[in-house]
Amino acid sequence: MSIVGRRWISSGKCGVWIARRIAGERSYGTEGRPTVTGGRPTMTEGRPTVTGGRPTVTEGCPTVTEGRPTVTEGRPTVKGGSLSCVGRRMLLAWVAAASTAVAAVACGQLVGIGNDPPQGPIAPSPEAAAEGGFTYGQGACAACVATNCDAEMTACAGTPSCSGLESCMSGCNGDATCRATCGAQDGLGNDGATPGFEACLASHCETQCGLTCGGLAAVFPAATATACAACISAPDVCKAATTCATSSTCQAALRCQFSAPTIDVWQTCPVLAEDAGAAPIFAAQSAPIVGSCSDQCSWGTDWSCVGNVHWPGATLGPLEIDELVYSNLDQAPIGGAIVKLCNTLDFACGTSITQQTTDDAGNARLLRGTIQTQVGLYLDVSSAAITPVLEFVAFPINQSRLASSSPTVPPGYLTQLDAFGATVDLTLGAIAVAAVDCRLAPAPRVQFSLVEAPPSTQVFYFSGSTVSTTATVTDRSGGALFVNVPVDSWLTLLAKPQALDGGVSGTTQIFARDGGESQVYFPPTP
């Protein structure tokens, strides 16, 4: 269940890209990897849409602009292959569902950096707006803002989240690290006033207020903001970044998505269609982040939220999950697959909460009614044509909808890992896992461990488009595969980014089933 797209419910796309890597296929875009521009796909109202009976595949893997899938008309549109390829499958198929084109502008979401979950524009209070509010900057900057951005400044003054952030940044004189530090302390301004005010600054007062390429680097981690700003200042990158910075629409989508604490919340953020000016945003996100400035802007390596992650509670209200099941080998939809929504206390899913059978396009919609008590959820996907999949949700589903997808492989396919030194025992289980950082970007240089793993359990990481026999940490896909894991008992999975010097970014519990593949998308945890 690649909860990508409008609800990543599991990291399910793991199986997908893992399968291709085992086979050694170059189906991941450039140099055997998924082409992820910016880092996350976007969606428009929740459910995977398969054009012509199957997702469109570009060189074997989805080309995800911005790194996330998009959902059109209630279903994710899968462009460029299995969404699991996003960010090396943006986590395996989680993304798939909601994934595919990231028109949403946002590269990532800072988890737990001080912003409340997206909740739509916050109207300024009439009293504060009427009073005018505060002054921004000094000297020429203050004069420029007063002349060109009076209305935006008045609106900001009446919106606490905006006035708090901008009052802090007012004394920064454009310094990227100072501005980013304010964002970490006061939130990124996910409201109805900050995007307009920041766009006005970038449009009219960039030089006077010392903003580099519209000041967009301020939404990235303070630790690398100066290096990020310097990298973004390269002519081609600067042009794209400035285009986004000067657009209040782009600013709003970016700040909402970077503020979202979990993927399902992220899926509620504004999404920009190409005919609504998304093209400039694609460029702005891809160039400075996943392109030439990914390292400088800490793309995939932002661990600043660790120790301060806060997730919203799970919804007890009605829940809709839209699932797409397809083959990871040729992206053909899998019709006739049984998809069950299950309680994690029921390892065998003997009594499902609800279940549906996929149609010829590989789609199934599961509806859960209102419940009285929160329960853990996972998807059980089975068919005679596939290796059974269990997709786990590593965080509470707070929203009312979740779009997901499951890339699958034929029965027994994992035994091809034997060519890489494994001795796969199909009476045991497998776990496909993908790590993301605080902005939910695929995380390189992360090591996974299973606390209860016996000596027979093996873990494989990847290098480019193939399985590595020597790698001990993730590459930019953030993914790894465990084989020969114990079944029908809880397993504790740990993620340890090298940047934390042995520290743990997340802990989650899942279980495996004999002959099957469990999939989990693994963000930093509280």
Which tokens in the block code for residue 183? 């964002």
Q: Which of 206, 229, 259 is the last residue of a domain?
A: 259
| 437 and 443 Cβ atoms separated by less than 8 Å | yes
189-244 per-position pLDDT tens digit: 999 999 999 999 999 999 999 999 999 889 889 999 999 999 988 887 888 888 88
Q: Which of 227, 244, 259 is the last residue of a domain?
A: 259
Q: What integer pLDDT is reported at residue 307 of this predicted model? A: 93
Average pLDDT of every residue of the chain:
76
Whether residue 419 lies inside any domain: the answer is yes
Q: What integer pLDDT is reported at residue 484 of this predicted model? A: 97
User: In sequence order, which residues have a C-beta less than 8 Å from that of residue 151 and are 6 or more positions away?
Assistant: none
Greater model confidence, 51 or 281: 281
Q: What percent of the chain has pLDDT over 90?
A: 54
Q: Which of 197, 227, 259 is the last residue of a domain?
A: 259
Which of the four pLDDT bands, split at 50, 70 and 90, describes residue 133?
low
Q: What integer pLDDT is reported at residue 95 of this predicted model? A: 24
| 146 and 194 Cβ atoms separated by less than 8 Å | no
Q: What are phi and psi of 476, to 5 degrees?
A: -70, -5
pLDDT of 65 above 90? no
Q: What are phi and psi of 286, to 5 degrees?
A: -75, -45
pLDDT of 371 above 70? yes
Whether residue 314 lies inside any domain: the answer is no
Whether residue 327 lies inside any domain: the answer is no
Whether residue 394 lies inside any domain: the answer is no
Whether residue 18 lies inside any domain: the answer is no
Overall domain count for the chain = 2
Which of the four pLDDT bands, split at 50, 70 and 90, describes residue 407?
confident
- Residue keyed to tokens 């996907």: 381
In angstroms, how far is the first alpha carbon of the chain from the final one? 22
Domain that holds residue 453: 413-522
Whether residue 449 lies inside any domain: the answer is yes
pLDDT of 410 above 80? yes
Neighbours of 53 (CB within 10 A): 11
pLDDT of 128 above 90? no
Which tokens in the block code for residue 468? 């590595």
Which tokens in the block code for residue 251? 């600013």
237-260 per-position pLDDT tens digit: 888 888 889 999 889 988 988 888
Whether residue 61 lies inside any domain: the answer is no
Assign residue 499 the CATH number of its domain: 2.60.40.10
Whether residue 515 lies inside any domain: the answer is yes
Give the pTM. 0.74
pLDDT of 132 above 70? no
Q: What integer pLDDT is reported at residue 267 of this predicted model? A: 82
